[in-house]
Structure 1
Amino acid sequence: MTIDELSKLMKEGFEQIQRQFEDVNKRLGNLETDVAWIKGKLEGTQEGKASVWQIITTATAVGAVIIVLIALLK
């Protein structure tokens, strides 16, 4: 092999490695997007559960006040 052939072969190898790095970078970007979407879904679910618990707590407190008022009026 001549130096020119080796140089061409190395250039092709480096180009192939560069394409592979670009593919990995693209996949990593997609993975980051997917993880962010999942994180958002989990946070939304947690906020929904917190909202439900707040309603239950408020309803329980209102119920307790009503029971106390009924007990006081009798």
Structure 2
Amino acid sequence: MSKEAKELIKEALKNQAKSLDLSNCDLEELPKEIGALIQLEDLRLSGNQKVSDLSPLANLQNLNTLDVSNT
């Protein structure tokens, strides 16, 4: 996971963000920490072409928008 993605996830956890944009972060897989962001309503993952397993998102019950274009 890129340093940028780690920082964005850390900030989202700290601030209980409702939106998170990890587009074009060169993710190869979704980090398990993403599953702790249960308050997320909007998640952008576009452009992370190596991500194929979305199971870490299973607990995100408040998620209304998920962008996985070009992923």
TM-score normalized by the length of structure 2:
0.21
TM-score normalized by the length of structure 1:
0.20
Q: Which has the higher strand share?
A: 2
Q: Which has the higher helix share?
A: 1
The structure with the largest alpha-carbon Rg is 1
Q: Which has the higher contact order (CA 8 A, sep 6+)?
A: 2
